[in-house]
Each structure stands twice: as structure tokens, then as C-alpha cells.
């Protein structure tokens, strides 16, 4: 079992930047497929980005590609999401996710609010 704690959310103007952090405990982040999801009011939770263990292969939703960057620091058991050129439509609660290699189990953080003003 791994516990996830997100931080770094807040209010930012359109075009600005934020960096989200996800600290993992009770395990190592490198033992899981780590990712970020978000959920806006009245919308389904959607995939944002993911990063694999060992060889750090990354994947992004089309809506954030070239603006967001996911990275990991294995020594600190921490995953980051650098968000640049933020848009009002990026406003959502952002959740850190850890998926077991089998894909059978997902662990979730409590979420952190990101609000982008126009």
C-alpha cells in the first residue's frame, strides 16, 4: 500500500505556471506507474499525464501536451507536474495516482485545487 499527498495547487492567472508535487510513502514511487488526473465541476475525472518506473516513459493527454511536464525524483519518492501556459479550462481538482504494474489496483491522493482565472 502506498499513500499519496499532493501539494502546490492554488490560484493563478491565465498564462501562468504552477508545479504540483505528489509525495509517496509506504512504498517507492518507482514501483508504480505514477500519473495525474483532474476533475472539473460537472465533468468526469480525466487522464492528464503518466510516467513509468525504471525507464521514464511519459504520456500526456492531447489537451496538455507541450504545456505540462511530468517528472519523478526516485530518491525523494516524489512525482511532479509542471504546468505552464495555464488556461481557464485547466481549472480542476488534480489527483495523484499510483497504479500497480498489473493494473489491478489504483491508489489516489486527496486532490489539490487548481484555479486559473481569465
Give the pLDDT means over successive 10-residue stretches in the chain (118 positions). 94 98 84 94 96 86 98 90 98 96 91 97
Residue 25 pLDDT:
92
Residue 59 pLDDT:
96
Residue 1 pLDDT:
80
50 touches 65 (CB < 8 A): no
29 touches 79 (CB < 8 A): yes
Three-state DSSP at 36 gives strand
Amino acid at each position: 500500500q502506498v499513500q499519496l499527498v499532493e501539494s502546490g495547487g492554488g490560484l493563478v492567472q491565465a498564462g501562468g505556471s504552477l508545479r504540483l508535487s505528489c509525495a509517496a510513502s509506504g512504498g517507492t514511487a518507482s514501483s508504480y506507474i505514477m500519473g495525474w488526473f483532474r476533475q472539473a465541476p460537472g465533468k468526469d475525472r480525466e487522464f492528464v499525464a503518466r510516467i513509468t518506473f525504471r525507464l521514464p516513459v511519459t504520456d500526456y493527454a492531447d489537451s496538455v501536451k507541450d504545456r505540462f511536464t511530468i517528472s519523478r525524483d526516485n530518491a525523494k519518492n516524489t512525482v511532479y507536474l509542471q504546468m505552464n501556459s495555464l488556461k481557464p479550462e485547466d481549472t480542476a481538482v488534480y489527483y495523484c495516482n499510483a497504479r500497480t504494474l498489473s493494473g489491478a489496483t489504483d491508489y489516489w491522493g486527496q486532490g489539490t485545487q487548481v484555479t486559473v482565472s481569465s
